[in-house]
């Protein structure tokens, strides 16, 4: 990948068709803090439709790297969709990645505000089509996506949720342990240290833990009537049991929807190879494309 300027960080060449697309680093303020994202625009396409991507818990806008191809899941999705003339914006929630703020201050409702601000930002750009917008969220980003889609004033043509959290309190209790959650609920503005299953230590405040119980993705999905795709894995040990955890969103959703349940883990077998990730990206792209007006 050829590095360019800060506002245009990558240009990729698809040799067969001589089609270019660019990654642009963008920023704008949310609640007084600088918010960072990567806008991918297929070059030569006037007013393309656009997908907003929302990352998971402790993730970032490119999402985890697939070892076999040395590329992040979200950055790979953006590249694949650009080949199909679809723009995308992948964001760092405040406190994550390069956005300002501390992870300790994050809450689910705060991440919803970030997602809503990102849609407002896209709606104000002249180089994407605000009448054709979609959302993709992974894991906790999938839970957050339900709130963004439910609360936005913009029309969302379709939404895809990858291994979405549907009972965030249960999922985070499993990841961090019940004692950490109990401490977090009593912490108020104080910091609680937590250890992720892979050994990384993080800090969170009471507001995060409280939001796990006050924010309900199943309740939020009742306010979104657009087309919905939910992708879950039968080998997911983070959000489970599957497919029941994904099916509940469809049960409370009014409108066209589809559930796919493949033999994959919470990261779509990305540690093995890119095959399942690529299939998911293609399936999601096809679902969203058919619903763009």
Q: What pLDDT does residue 198 have? A: 86
The pLDDT assigned to 16 comes to 39
What's residue 20's pLDDT?
55
- CA distances to 120, 131, 223 from 153, in Å: 9, 12, 12
Distance CA 104, CA 227 (A): 34
Nearest residue to 21 (alpha-carbon basis) of 1, 35, 6, 36: 1
* Residue 95, pLDDT score: 97
Domain coverage including residue 280: 2-289
pLDDT, block means (10 residues), the chain with 293 residues:
35 43 90 95 94 97 96 97 96 97 97 98 96 98 98 98 97 96 97 92 98 98 98 96 98 97 98 98 98 88
pLDDT at 123: 97
State residue 22's pLDDT score.
Answer: 84
**Structural domain count of the chain:** 1
pLDDT at 127: 94
| Residue 255: per-residue pLDDT | 95
pLDDT at position 196 = 92
Rounded CA gap, 112 and 94, in Å?
11
pLDDT at 235: 98
What integer pLDDT is reported at residue 293 of this predicted model? 72
pTM of the model as a whole? 0.92
Q: Which residue has the tokens 């980003």?
A: 141
Whichever domain contains 178, its CATH number is 3.40.50.1820
């Amino acid at each position: 990948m050829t590095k360019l300027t800060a506002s245009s960080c990558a240009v990729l060449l698809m040799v067969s068709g001589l089609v270019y697309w660019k990654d642009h680093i963008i920023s704008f303020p949310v609640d007084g803090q600088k918010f960072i994202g990567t806008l991918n625009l297929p070059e030569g396409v006037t007013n393309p439709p656009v997908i907003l991507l929302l990352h998971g818990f402790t993730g970032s806008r490119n999402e985890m790297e697939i070892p076999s191809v040395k590329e992040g899941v979200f950055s790979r999705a953006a590249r694949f969709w650009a080949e199909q003339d679809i723009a995308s914006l992948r964001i760092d929630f405040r406190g994550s990645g390069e956005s300002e703020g501390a992870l300790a201050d994050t809450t689910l409702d705060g991440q919803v505000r970030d997602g809503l601000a990102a849609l407002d930002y896209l709606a104000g750009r002249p180089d994407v089509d605000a009448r054709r917008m979609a959302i993709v969220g992974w894991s906790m980003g999938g839970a957050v996506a339900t709130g963004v889609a439910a609360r936005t004033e913009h029309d969302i043509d379709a939404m895809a949720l990858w291994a979405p959290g549907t009972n965030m309190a249960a999922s985070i209790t499993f990841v961090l342990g019940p004692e950490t959650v109990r401490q977090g609920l009593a912490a108020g503005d104080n910091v609680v240290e937590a250890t992720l299953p892979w050994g990384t230590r993080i800090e969170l405040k009471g507001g995060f833990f409280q939001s796990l119980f006050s924010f309900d993705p199943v309740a939020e999905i009742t306010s979104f009537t657009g087309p919905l795709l939910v992708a879950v894995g039968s080998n997911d040990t983070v959000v489970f049991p599957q497919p029941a955890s994904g099916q509940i969103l469809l049960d409370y959703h009014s409108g066209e929807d589809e559930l796919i349940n493949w033999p994959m883990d919470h990261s779509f077998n990305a540690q093995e190879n890119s095959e399942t990730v690529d299939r998911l990206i293609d399936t999601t792209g096809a679902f969203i494309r058919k619903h763009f007006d």
